[in-house]
Structure 1
Amino acid sequence: MHNKPSDGNRPGKHGARPRTKPAEVRLDELMSAAERLFLDKGVESTTINEIVEAAQVAKGTFYHYFSSKSEMLEALGKRYTEQFLARLETAVDACAEGDWVGRLGAWIHASVVTYVDTFRLHDIVYTNHHHHDRSNPARNAILDQLLGIIEGGMAAGLWAPENPRVVALLIYSGVHGATDEVIANQSKDCTAFAQAITASCLHMLGVFPESSPATPKQ
């Protein structure tokens, strides 16, 4: 007596077994579908049925990963911060290894541009707990990245703040807060604004470059 093949292993039209997506790909597609719906309709107006339909997965797949929309929203918040960090890393890594002024400018510019580009998603995933979650490891990784730039400049003799972590916290929070003004004013080009913030941060570190890509031209 032959066993009947299950749906997941049943041969296709040409005898080959259908491919099953890896779990991480299926999860990413599920979260991306929810993200699009949340941006388009809002979290409250989006149902789990709509999410699984958009992702083309069974409803059980949703509950395999998440117990509720709220739990999914928390996961989207962590993914958002990780993607934010990745964009900052790309911008900083494009600078020469010892160019600490350039690296600080690249970090600030990427922070401003990325926040402007993604603020709608930011406001959705951080509606309840915002980005000030002290236990958020990805958020702390962004702060540590900035601190690394400041400490690198210290080692190179470019600046010597008494408390580099306090300076990193001020820059981190200040850049985020200042960018809210760009968003509120609906500015399309934020390059000059990012340059002005960078110049102010360099001044705070005791650096006054006469001519630098990080300093806005008069």
Structure 2
Amino acid sequence: MSERDFTPVRRPSARPVRRRPRAGNAILRPPRKADIRRDQLVQAAITLLVDRGLPESSIDDIAARAGVAKGTFYHYFASKADLMDALRQHFSDAFEARVVAAVEARPPGDWNGRFEAWVVAATEAYFDMHALHDVVFHGPSMPHRQSMDDTDIVGHLAALVAAGEADGAWHLSGGKPVQVAAFIFHALHGMADDALTAGRPADQLGPLIAQLSRRVLAG
């Protein structure tokens, strides 16, 4: 048997196999057209509502801004109220993502560093996103008492407080982690609103809130 017997046969009609790009072991797939359309509507609504407010932004305006037909809006949202629920979730997800990323950038076990990262990132995110926050949480359909109670993000802080306490980083004086987290979150919210009203910048506010909040953690 000669060397040519092992030479692979090239078929002109054969096409190279196209492999999907991967991130680690996960297959990267392009976003679905439906997800893109829905995101276009969400982003258009954010732009219009922040600029004009809810009453002055009609479904026709939002669809036109997104570059889709009005019927496309109703394919993804049953009503403007349904859209507002989606915008609240969009805000909460983006807010939490920023805070979680800042915390995870600190080493495990660095409880004071992780706590300060949480407070500073939450303060800066609130400053950056306050216009959308006011539209979706301070409207007539959302009572003020509910507007300050973001369960997911307070829960994330409560878990951080509980883990730090279990590791001996701080000692709570009688309060439960979720109560302490709610106290800190509401204090942050109030101080940030005061700074926004007075026109003070956010760069020094986050560290100040973290410093004051650590006194609560120390009991």
Q: Same fold (TM over 0.5)?
A: yes
From 160, 184, 191, give the equivalent of 2:197: 184
Deviation at 1:101, TM superposition (A): 0.3
What is the distance in 2 between the residues matched to 1:120 and 1:69?
A: 19
Taking a change above 3 Å as real, the CA distance of residues 131 and 117 of structure 1, as seen in their structure-2 partners, is farther
Structure 1: stretches of 5+ with no match in the other structure: 1-19, 208-218
CA offset digits 1:42-97 (Å, max 9, x no partner): 22112222211111112111111223222212211111111111111111111111
What is the distance in 1 between the residues matched to 2:188 and 2:42?
A: 28
Taking a change above 3 Å as real, the CA distance of residues 168 and 75 of structure 1, as seen in their structure-2 partners, is same
Match of 1:94 in 2: 105
CA offset digits 1:105-155 (Å, max 9, x no partner): 011111111111111111101123157549x8xx22211110111112112
AA matched with 1:147: A
Q: After the TM superposition, which parts of structure 1 deviate over 6 Å for at least 4 consecutive aligned residues?
A: none
The alignment's TM-score, normalised by the length of structure 2, stands at 0.78
Pairwise mapping of residues 105-124 of structure 1 onto structure 2 (< 5 A)? Answer: 105-124=116-135
From 185, 191, 201, give the equivalent of 1:172: 185
- Same amino acid, percent of matched pairs: 34
| Aligned-partner SS, 1:191 | coil
What is the distance in 2 between the residues matched to 1:200 and 1:110?
A: 16
AA matched with 2:122: S
Bigger shift: 67-76 or 146-155? Answer: 67-76
Number of equivalenced pairs = 184
Larger radius of gyration: 2
Structure 2: stretches of 5+ with no match in the other structure: 1-30
Taking a change above 3 Å as real, the CA distance of residues 45 and 27 of structure 1, as seen in their structure-2 partners, is same
Deviation at 1:25, TM superposition (A): 1.4
Pairwise mapping of residues 37-186 of structure 1 onto structure 2 (< 5 A)? Answer: 37-126=48-137, 127-128=139-140, 129=142, 132-133=145-146, 139-161=150-172, 162=174, 163-186=176-199
Taking a change above 3 Å as real, the CA distance of residues 140 and 131 of structure 1, as seen in their structure-2 partners, is farther
What is the distance in 2 between the residues matched to 1:108 and 1:98?
A: 17
